[in-house]
Amino acid sequence: MQAERGTNRIEHAVDPNELDSSASLDTVLAAWNTATNRLQKTHETLRCEVERLTNELEKKNRQLQQKERLADLGQMAAHIAHEIHNNMMPVTLYTSLLRRRFSSDGDSLSIVTKIESGLKATRSTVQDLLHFTVEREPDMNTFSLRSVVHEVFDSLAPQLNAQNVEVEVDVPAEMHISADQDMLRRAILNLTLNALDVMPEGGQLVATGVADTHSVELEIADSGPGMSSDTCSHALEPFFTTKGSGTGLGLAIVDRIMRAHGGNVLLNACPEGGLAVTLRVPQVHAMEKAA
C-alpha cells in the first residue's frame, strides 16, 4: 500500500496535463505582452503621424492665408502704382522744364537735381510694385547669357564707376539660355542694384555662368558685408528688408521670376565675405526644341 501511495504521488507530481496547461498559459501571456507592445508602438507611430500631419496642415493653412493676403495686397498695390505712375509723368515733365529754365542758376539746379533724385527713387518703387503684382507667363527665347549680363552692367556703368566697383564677367560667350529675356534682365538688374546698395565705398561684383544639359546657373557675387543665415532665410519674402529705405521687393521679384521659369534662387555667404546669389533656370524648353 505504501509503495502504491508513493507511486501515486510521483505520478501526480509529473501530470502531463498540468504541464500542458502551464505551457499554454505562458504562451498566452507572452502573446498578450507581444500584442500589447505592438499596439503601444502602433499607437506611438499613429500619434507621431497625426502630429506631423497636423503641423503640415497648419503650415499649409498659414501659407494659404499669406497668399490670400498677398493677392489682396497685390491688387491694391497695382492700383496705387498705376495711379502714382500716371501722376508722376506731368511732374517729371515740369521738372525737365525747370532744369532748362534754371540752366544758368547753380543753386536752383541743385534743388531741381534733388527733386529729380526723389522722383527717380519713387519711379523705382513704382516699378518694383508693378513687376511684383503683374503675373505673366515667360515669353521663352534662346539667347546669349553673357550679352544680357553685359547689357545690364553697361547700363549701370556710371554708378559702378562712381562707387568704384570692379566688375568681372565669367560667362562663356557660347553659353546660351532659354528664358524670357526681359524677365531675366530684370532679375539680373535687381541683383546688381542690391549689390551696389551694400558696396557704397567700392568693392567687386562677379557674374559667373555654368551650364549642363538640364539647367543654366548664373551667380552674382559681391564683396559687401553679406547676410546672416537668419536674414538669408527671409530675404526672398515680399517686403522683407534690412535697409532703411526700399520696398523689400527686389529679391522677391527675382524669386517670382525664377519660379515662373520653373527655377529657383539660392543665397550663400561667400567664404571671403559678401553674398552670392545664384539664379537656376531649367532648360526644359531648350531640350524639347533640340528633341
Q: Count Cα atoms within 13 angstroms, Cβ side, for 27.
A: 6
**What are the backbone dihedrals phi and psi of residue 156, each rounded to the nearest 5 degrees, phi first?**
-105, 15
Do the strands 165-170 and 203-211 form a parallel or antiparallel pair, or are they unpaired? parallel
pLDDT of residue 282: 95
pLDDT of residue 14: 45
pLDDT tens digit string along 34-93?
A: 888 888 888 888 989 998 999 888 888 887 887 777 667 667 776 777 777 778 888 888
Q: Between 63 and 280, whose confidence is greater?
A: 280
pLDDT of residue 2: 43
The angle at the Cα of 239, spanning 274 to 158, to the nearest 5 degrees, equals 50
Q: Residue 21 pLDDT more than 60? A: no
- Number of other CB atoms surrounding residue 262 within 10 Å: 14
Q: Residue 146 pLDDT more than 50? A: yes
DSSP single-letter state for residue 227: -
Comparing C-alpha atoms, which of 210, 207, 218 is closest to residue 254? 218
pLDDT tens digit string along 166-206?
A: 999 999 999 999 999 988 998 999 899 889 988 999 999 99
- The strand ranges marked E within the chain are 141-144, 165-170, 176-179, 203-211, 215-222, 264-269, 275-282
- What is the C-alpha separation between 119 and 84, in angstroms, rounded? 11
- What is the C-alpha separation between 201 and 89, in angstroms, rounded? 33
DSSP single-letter state for residue 195: H
Percent above pLDDT 90 for the chain: 29
- Decide: residue 184, CB within 10 A, 0-12 exposed, 13-18 middle, 19+ buried: buried
Q: What is the pTM of this model?
A: 0.61
